[in-house]
Amino acid sequence: MKGSISTAIIVACVALLLSASAEAGLVDFYFTMAPNADQVAGAEVDSDGVGAGWLRLTTQTNTIEWSIVYSALTGAPTMAHFHGPAEPGENAGPQVTLDHTTNPIIGSTVITDEQETQLVNNLWYVNIHTEAYPAGEIRGQLVRVVPEPATAALLAGGALILLRTRHRRR
């Protein structure tokens, strides 16, 4: 009887975790930025500039929020954007203009359903432009973080292993 109650509690917790993450509708992305040929398509860039950041998409409202840090650029940023749709190494037009006057660059906005589809398929990149490199000095492709249900599934698997081990000891 105790084993079936423990099993029911674990199953209920896993179901709660799965439903909470699905209901939350949050999708996270990360990116690193560098001035290399793989990132800045068709451009020779001689810079020590680097950057990194994250973006979070709330799917119910198509709201994105982001935080980006950068350093060692050849000069002050003149522009910064999220671009897409584009695979790594390809160029695309700006989708969202960023406030490039601060470091870190922090903001949020609402995007269209089409932009959301591009974003979740890893077809956006961030580009910071400078006077020396008007096409972009540093760039990074946004990469989707493993969805939370995968973590819940791992927890469920671990819980089942623990239950099975515990059951065998009896």
Q: State residue 45's pLDDT score.
A: 87
Rounded to whole angstroms, the Cα distance separating 167 from 73 reads: 60
Rounded to whole angstroms, the Cα distance separating 160 from 39 reads: 43
* Type of residue at 44: E
Domain residues of the chain, as ranges? 25-146
| Burial letters 28-45, b for 16+ CB under 10 A, else e | ebebebbbeeebbbebeb
Mean pLDDT, the chain, whole residue set: 81
Q: State residue 68's pLDDT score.
A: 97
Q: State residue 10's pLDDT score.
A: 45
pLDDT tens digit sequence for 122-164: 999 999 999 999 988 999 999 999 755 666 566 666 656 655 5
Question: In the chain, which stretches have pLDDT less than 50?
Answer: 1-2, 4-23, 166
Its pTM surpasses 0.85: no
Angle in degrees, CA 6, 9, 12, rounded to 5: 150
Q: State residue 8's pLDDT score.
A: 42
Closest CA to 37 of 142, 145, 144, 135: 135
Q: State residue 37's pLDDT score.
A: 53
